[in-house]
Amino acid sequence: MAVTVKPAHEPPDGGYAWVIMAAYAFNTILGIQMKGIGLVFKDMFSEMDMPATDVAIILNLNLSLSLLLGIFTGALIRKFGYRKVAAAGALLTCAGLLLTSVATTFIDFVIYFSIITAAGLGLTAPSFSVAFHSYFRRRRSMASSVLSTLIGVVGIACPQVIGLLLREYGPRGTCVMLAGYALNVLVAAALLHPVSWHSRAASNPDVKVLVEDAVEESTPVDDFALPPLPVLMEETDADLRSELLGSLGSMRRRASTVSSYHTARRPSEASNTMWASASILDMVCSKPGGLDQAPALDKLPKSPSSKDEPPAPPRAPRTLREDVRLCWRFLVDFFGLDLLANPSIANIMLGLALGLFGQGNFNQFLPFIFAERGLSTTNIVNIMSLMAVASTVTKLLAPLLQRLLRQSSRVMCAATLVMLVAGQIALALVRDDTAVFAIAVTLGSINGFNIVYYIQVLPDSVPPEDLASAIGLQAVLGGVVMLVCGPLIGVIRDQSGSYDMVIMTCCVFTLVCITMWLVEFITAAVKGHGRGHGRGRGRVGDS
């Protein structure tokens, strides 16, 4: 009879978990304010007469580095825990914004805002997300809904708050105020208690598992399971660990039920130290004397197949080719590059990266676009608030619309991208203030639909066990595209002398994403029709 191993503790799903949700919302508000940083920078850059190319490099480098840093944030969270990483990120963000308030040159903005501030944002966002998902399991959907509603309401007020700060303190004083808010995120990070402090006893207390205690020593994240980092390991070490586990017999099979991730994704890591510690703890737990009467490792019975075998000859030194192969295997496992072997997933990821570049740059340069049209800061703030209101409403309607149309997230995302491109082209062509207001609000409403569908495309397209690797790889692709193509936006603005060409360039990148997905849709439909036609002819011949 198989033994089902259940966790010794369950996440709170309430109680202190709501404090974690509030802390997560507090940090997310900082991210919303940073998205509107163009309101602050447009006056600073105008006073400094900074070229649009430099502006594009500053903004795109900030976004790209915050995305690229997400790959290494997971390792830092595994090593130090989400609480310490979030605190470090809050301090970096505060220091970066304070230094940005006194920046006077292009290099100053690159170092203070594009590097230091981006590093802080790249550390805090994943840390709070991990803490939030650690505290909620059964009520995660309800908590996410409450969180989204709260953030949407606050997002409406953020442009108005930034406009008020600009009127009272100016752009550099506003940077100081944002730095003060970032310092308060340090208090929110202090509230991120390890989930084990507030966990409840499992519903089946008869099944006792000591594996979590062993894992927590090397995993400060507590009960939240992050994928382990791949390890470069020589074959001789693997053979020794396999021999030890082979001598433990049935205890290895029981340990294998603890984590299906290791067996499914990395069979060669069956000899990991976590597994060995799990087997030994289970063995000790079953002894009447406990740890005091635990048998020593050197007294464990050896595998029968290894009794009469001669000692293995010493292994020859690895060649350069073998070192390159091991390094490549490490990179493939670390970044999940094996996912790109699937053409459909590769097409999805590249399309998402191009779409993020197009729409992300349009949103970042939107205050500059409105300022070029002669709108005052007050009017720009009002437009952005109306766009936030429309986006919040349509985010609530997006799931209902998708259920009504019965289409996949990628189809819905592509459709909303087409509508965004149409609206952005219209914005580049019109000059009337009333028409600009109307188009901006329309773009805000469409953007709300697009955000909901965009974040669902990747989870709906990859297996659950590959989702963590897919998200990390997507962050890398998005960061690389931002880093490489970002200066192009500024060059086009400087050469054309108008942000209308910037809008068109953003639309081109978005259209490339739509075209890539459309070609795949058509190819899949043609292949499906061909297979169905072939099966139909086969049935006629058989009759």
Reported as a single tens digit per residue, the pLDDT across 322-360 is 778 888 888 777 666 778 888 888 899 999 999 999 999
CA torsion angle 38 40 42 45 (round to 10): -120
Which tens digits make up the pLDDT trace of 204-251? 544 443 333 333 333 344 433 344 444 333 343 444 344 433 433 434
Portion of the chain with pLDDT greater than 70, in percent: 72
User: For residues 309 and 52, which has the higher predicted lDDT (pLDDT)?
Assistant: 52
Which tens digits make up the pLDDT trace of 146-193? 777 778 788 888 888 888 998 899 999 999 999 999 999 999 999 988
- Cβ-based neighbours of 350, under 8 Å, separated by 6 or more: 477, 516
Indicate if the pLDDT at residue 432 is higher than 80: yes
User: For residues 542 and 38, which has the higher predicted lDDT (pLDDT)?
Assistant: 38
User: For residues 8 and 348, which has the higher predicted lDDT (pLDDT)?
Assistant: 348
Residue (of 177, 180, 159) closest to 168 by Cα position: 177
Sign of CA dihedral 106, 111, 113, 118: positive
Segment 379-395 shows an average pLDDT of: 89
Q: Any long-range contacts for 507-512 (C-beta under 8 Å, 24+ apart)?
A: 507/358, 507/421, 507/424, 507/425, 508/358, 509/354, 509/355, 509/357, 509/358, 509/485, 510/354, 510/355, 510/358, 510/359, 510/417, 510/420, 510/421, 511/421, 512/351, 512/354
Tell me where in the chain the CATH 1.20.1250.20 domain(s) lie.
Answer: 8-199, 331-527
Q: How far apart are CA 68 and CA 119, in angstroms?
A: 9
Segment 78-90 shows an average pLDDT of: 89
Indicate if the pLDDT at residue 97 is higher than 90: yes
What's residue 186's pLDDT? 92
What dotted CATH number matches 8-199?
1.20.1250.20
Q: How far apart are CA 71 and CA 183, in angstroms?
A: 24
Segment 83-101 shows an average pLDDT of: 93
Per-residue DSSP letter, 300: S
Supply angle C-alpha 483, 82, 72, rounded to 5: 30
Portion of the chain with pLDDT greater than 90, in percent: 25
User: For residues 67 and 293, which has the higher predicted lDDT (pLDDT)?
Assistant: 67
User: For residues 373 and 109, which has the higher predicted lDDT (pLDDT)?
Assistant: 109
Q: Rounded to two decimals, what is the model's pTM?
A: 0.67
CA 101 vs CA 53, 153, 291: distances in Å: 21, 28, 59
Indicate if the pLDDT at residue 90 is higher than 90: yes
Q: What are the two backbone dihedrals, phi and then psi, of residue 138, each rounded to the nearest 5 degrees?
A: -75, -35
Instruction: Name the token pair of 31.
Output: 């991210």
Q: What are the two backbone dihedrals, phi and then psi, of residue 9, each rounded to the nearest 5 degrees?
A: -135, 155
What dotted CATH number matches 331-527?
1.20.1250.20
Share the mean pLDDT of the chain: 76
What's residue 273's pLDDT? 37
